[in-house]
């Protein structure tokens, strides 16, 4: 199933909300499958739950053949090294913003089986993670534009 993606123009308030932790370990498999269908349909490489109107701390990444699901994720350590990329967002079409991020991050999260995981992410994976993680805080690529 393909969900409609919330657009900043129309759904600013929902996209600006801080997402909530997921408790009681619900089965999220169907939701996650639908999120993947949606992300691939719109040619994204990441999609967060708030972008489909769910105010919960969950996002997915799909880079090449790699699929990663992050439930209640938390960044526990950042590298000093930075990386810069032009980022787009499915909720803000046609805007690309150069954003400086940490090149390497260490994160903990639950996977779709509710197993506790810890992982090191680098380069584009780290960038996409930080982009989606921002969504859970209601932060968007717009916030990185330097207004003069
Ligand atoms: Zn986005």
CA of 135 to the centre of ligand 1 (A): 6
Q: Is residue 1 part of a domain?
A: no
CA of 51 to the centre of ligand 1 (A): 8
- pLDDT per residue as tens digits for the range 48-75: 999 999 999 999 999 988 999 999 999 9
Please say if 87 is a catalytic residue. no
CATH number of 36's domain: 3.90.45.10
Q: With 90 as the cut, is the pLDDT of residue 148 above it? A: no
Q: What DSSP assignment string belongs to 21-65?
A: PP-S----HHHHHHHHHHHHHTT-SEEEGGGGT--BSEEEEEETT
Q: Is residue 2 part of a domain?
A: no
Q: Is residue 31 part of a domain?
A: yes
Q: Which domain holds residue 22?
A: 8-144
CA of 24 to the centre of ligand 1 (A): 27
Q: 């169907």: which residue's tokens?
A: 30
Q: Is residue 39 part of a domain?
A: yes
Q: Is residue 109 part of a domain?
A: yes
Q: First vs last Cα of the chain: how many Å apart?
A: 42
Exactly one of 30, 80, 87, 132 is catalytic; name it.
132
Q: Are the C-beta atoms of residues 55 and 20 closer than 8 Å to each other?
A: yes
Q: Is residue 69 part of a domain?
A: yes
Instruction: Quote the number of domains for the chain.
Output: 1
Q: Is residue 49 part of a domain?
A: yes
CA of 72 to the centre of ligand 1 (A): 17
């Amino acid at each position: 199933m393909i969900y409609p993606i919330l657009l900043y123009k129309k759904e600013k308030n929902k996209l600006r909300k801080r997402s909530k932790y997921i408790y009681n370990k619900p089965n999220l498999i169907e939701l996650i499958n639908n999120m993947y269908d949606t992300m691939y349909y719109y040619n994204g490489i990441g999609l967060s739950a708030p972008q489909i109107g769910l105010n919960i701390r969950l996002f997915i990444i799909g880079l090449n053949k790699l699929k990663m699901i992050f439930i209640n994720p938390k960044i526990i350590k950042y590298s000093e090294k930075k990386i810069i990329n032009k980022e787009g967002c499915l909720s803000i079409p046609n805007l690309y913003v150069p954003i400086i991020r940490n090149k390497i991050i260490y994160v903990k999260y639950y996977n779709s089986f509710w197993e506790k995981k810890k992982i090191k992410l680098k380069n584009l994976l780290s960038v996409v993670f930080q982009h989606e993680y921002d969504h859970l805080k209601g932060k968007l690529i717009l916030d990185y534009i330097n207004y003069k």
